[in-house]
Amino acid sequence: MRINHLFENFSDVSDPAEGVRIGAAPPTWLSGNFLRNGPGKFKFGDDEVNHWFDGMAYPQRYHFENGRMLYSAKFLKSHAYLACEKDKRLAVSTFATPRSVQKNMKAKPDSGAYNCLVNFLQVNKEVYALTETSKWLRICQDTLEVQAQEDISNHVAEILSCSAHPIRDRDGTVTEPTCFRDALFWKERQYVNIILVDKKTGNRHPRKFFAPPFFTFHHANAFERDGFLYVDFCLVENPGNFEDLLLQHMRDGSFSSRNPLFRPFLHRIVIPTNVSGGIILVPVMSANQRKKPIFMILDAKSLREICRYVLPVPRIPMGFHAIFVDAAAGDKEN
């Protein structure tokens, strides 16, 4: 089934529109904004990006209050987006779509041409859009407008790259566990080198650990037990240098069937049997263009559906990551 409509240009939904609820009312304490980031614009004029990761940031806002859900979305007005809109072409180089040599020769160096499309981070009452650089964009979580830009290398260290997947230690410290190089190449016969670092001292473990070749984007969990370190992660046997995530393969739906080795699966999984109460928020795209997308709320323990909202738009994009900003949290960090 072709799903090209999920990878065509989207439009701003500036005025919040209400979704139609089906089912029971959500928990009364559900109040705040579910913010989701990801690409939403892939073509400027005659120029089109090559890769899913190259689309321009398109934050979506799902606002919950008194059992209602209001949806809005807006392109992130980053330097990269504004430059492309002004020139009506791809004016910046991206993950897998470089500008032509002629365009690069004419262009001025622009250290601010970043596209914060990966994730969000809440710091006290402020929300920042993130990518894999040290440049962050502070946004208004109600209007999705950019309020300011921040270069964390001015505060932390002289760095050019940092993780768009920050985690928090128990004391609330934000850490940057990974960095990405500007080019990634798959060497199918080269073993994976696993490096262990003591979080308290910063010292590297003296032993060397190796594993058969594999690739992973995201980790699910990690813990120590009986002298062993357990790591749960999505394993890909052969990523094929990410070619399966090119837009041409994403749109025709072949990205999951072209190369079975590219399909990620949990290499080890731990299912807790005593999950505390809570809910899971799930935006659902529609592969059928005649069906509207929905937003589901599930019970975290049983995974049963509590209710769903039919969204007031014909389609939503495939996003990357999201956060929930609780209206009752005040200045607490998520």
Measured CA to CA, the distance from residue 95 to residue 83 in angstroms comes to 17
Max alpha carbon distance in the chain (Å)?
60
Distance linking the first and last C-alpha atoms of the chain: 38
Measured CA to CA, the distance from residue 286 to residue 300 in angstroms comes to 23
Cβ–Cβ < 8 Å for 251, 258: no
Residue list for the binding site: 165
Phi/psi of residue 244, nearest 5 degrees = -70, -15
Residue list for the binding site for Fe cation: 165
Structure tokens at 288: 């059928």
Structure tokens at 179: 């960095």
State how beta strands 265-266 and 126-130 pair: unpaired
Residues ≥6 apart with Cβ < 8 Å to 109? none
Residues ≥6 apart with Cβ < 8 Å to 248? none
Cβ–Cβ < 8 Å for 23, 304: no
